[in-house]
């Protein structure tokens, strides 16, 4: 926890639907998830594909489930065929996943680009979830922590280069790449150590006052069965959920477990 004298960090469960659902079934799924996860104290976010955004926003209008996007372009407007920018989605969404490993892998996004996307989030009122995480080779070679620290430092350097500040409401998701969509999960203790390293890196970069308040989520094959391992760790503030976020029962179990952590933090 961030310390006895501070307000507890929020508990956040964010579903990343990736390239799944169509507008019609997205609305139904969002509605069903909202109904099955109405647990006090848990911040719920659903990130559908862009094309499903309006349908999901409408479906969730009477709920307190927030809607996010899975990416934004680094520029606000311009000649970027097929792209979607922060001001375009800001009227619909309030959160944005930035630097997901699938985009780093498939679109070649690097840490500097990710830094500029974070700044767009701040500019247009989107709360960013910055994804970091090591490859399996890094972990096997004992380089996992150095890799994550380097990702963060490069992103922070880019923000400093353009003389801007890290968004105040930043959330970080630690997602070991080898755990995403594989059914493998990190150990809770390793995820906790990484959350501590992330906060230490932010503090060392001069965002010390805020570093202890930055929520750190775990992501990578989170299910209703696996979530306890992570939420048992005081350094972990929730989860970024891929595959299981498409299943109502799974989300119900995950958010129910998150509710226990949220209640315990409020009572502490
Ligand atoms: P997964 O995806 O839960 O399907 O492993 C997590 C993510 O990519 O955020």
Spatial separation of the C-alpha atoms in residues 248 and 46, rounded to whole Å = 12
Tell me the CA–centroid distance for residue 240 and ligand 1, in Å: 7
Q: What is the pLDDT of residues 19-78, one digit of tens each?
A: 999 999 999 999 999 999 999 999 999 999 999 999 999 999 999 999 999 999 999 999
Please determine, for residue 4, whether its predicted confidence score (pLDDT) is greater than 60: no
Kindly write down the DSSP assignment for every residue of the chain, as one continuous string. Answer: ---TTSPPPPEEEEEE--S---HHHHHHHHHHHHHH---TTEEEEEE--GGGHHHHHHHTTTS--EEEES---SSSSSS-TT---HHHHTTT-SEEEES-HHHHHHS---HHHHHHHHHHHHHHTPEEEEEE---HHHHHTT-HHHHHHHHHHHHHHHHHHTT----TT-EEEE--GGGTTTS----HHHHHHHHHHHHHHHIIIIIHHHHTTS-EEEESS--TTTHHHHHTSTT--EEEESGGGG-HHHHHHHHHHHHHHHHHHHH-
DSSP string, 225-258: TTHHHHHTSTT--EEEESGGGG-HHHHHHHHHHH
CA–CA separation, 105 and 116 (whole Å): 18
Given a cut of 60, is residue 1 above it in pLDDT? Answer: no
Q: Which atom of ligand 1 is nearest to the CA of 221?
A: 5
Residue 9: alpha-carbon gap to chain centroid: 15
Do residues 171 and 68 lie in contact, with contact meaning Cβ atoms separated by under 8 Å? no
Residue 5 has pLDDT above 70, yes or no: no
| Whether the predicted pLDDT of 140 surpasses 90 | yes
Query: Known catalytic residue: 175?
Result: yes
Is the pLDDT assigned to residue 6 strictly greater than 80? no
Return the residue whose CA atom lies nearest to atom 6 of ligand 1.
242
Query: How is residue 19 written in tokens?
Result: 């390239």
CA of 15 to the centre of ligand 1 (A): 9
Note the pLDDT tens digit of each residue in 142-179: 999 999 999 999 999 999 888 778 888 999 999 999 99
Convert the pLDDT of each residue in 200-257 to its tens digit: 999 998 876 688 999 999 999 999 999 999 999 999 999 999 999 999 999 999 999 9
What confidence category does residue 3 fall into, taking pLDDT thresholds of 50, 70 and 90?
A: very low
**CA dist., res. 147 & res. 118, Å (int):** 20
Summarize pLDDT for 107-133 with one digit per residue, the tens: 999 999 999 999 999 999 999 999 999
Query: From ligand 1's centre to the CA of 16, what distance in Å?
Result: 7
User: Which residues are near ligand 1 (CB < 6 Å)?
Assistant: 16, 175, 180-181, 219-222, 240-244
DSSP 7: P
Query: What pLDDT score was predicted for residue 207?
Result: 75
User: pTM score, two decimals?
Assistant: 0.96
Tell whether the torsion through CA atoms of 232, 238, 240 and 246 is positive or negative: positive
Within its chain, how far is the Cα of 241 from the centroid?
9
b/e for 233-248, b at 16 or more Cβ within 10 A?
bbbbbbbbbbbbbbbb
């Amino acid at each position: 926890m961030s310390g006895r004298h501070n307000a507890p960090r929020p508990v956040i469960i964010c579903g990343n639907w990736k390239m799944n659902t169509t507008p019609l079934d997205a609305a139904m799924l969002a509605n069903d998830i909202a109904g099955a996860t109405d647990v006090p104290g848990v911040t719920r976010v659903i990130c559908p594909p862009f094309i499903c955004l309006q349908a999901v926003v409408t479906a969730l209008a009477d709920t307190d489930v927030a809607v996010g996007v899975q990416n934004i372009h680094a520029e606000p407007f311009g000649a970027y065929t097929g792209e979607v920018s922060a001001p375009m989605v800001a009227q619909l969404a309030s959160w944005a996943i930035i630097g997901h490993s699938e985009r780093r892998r498939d679109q070649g996004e690097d840490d500097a680009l990710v830094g500029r996307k974070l700044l767009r989030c701040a500019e247009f009122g989107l709360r960013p979830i910055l994804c970091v995480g090591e490859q399996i080779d890094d972990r096997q070679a004992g380089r996992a922590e150095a890799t994550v620290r380097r990702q963060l430092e490069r992103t922070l350097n880019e923000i400093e280069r353009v003389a801007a500040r890290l968004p105040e409401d930043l959330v970080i998701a630690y997602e070991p790449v080898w755990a995403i969509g594989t059914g493998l999960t990190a150990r809770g203790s390793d995820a906790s150590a990484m959350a501590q390293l992330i906060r230490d890196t932010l503090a060392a970069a001069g965002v010390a006052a805020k570093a202890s308040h930055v929520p750190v989520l775990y992501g990578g094959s989170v299910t209703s069965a696996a979530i306890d391992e992570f939420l048992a760790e005081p350094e972990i503030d929730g989860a970024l959920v891929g595959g299981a976020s498409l299943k109502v029962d799974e989300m119900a179990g995950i958010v129910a477990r998150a509710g226990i952590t949220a209640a315990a933090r409020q009572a502490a």
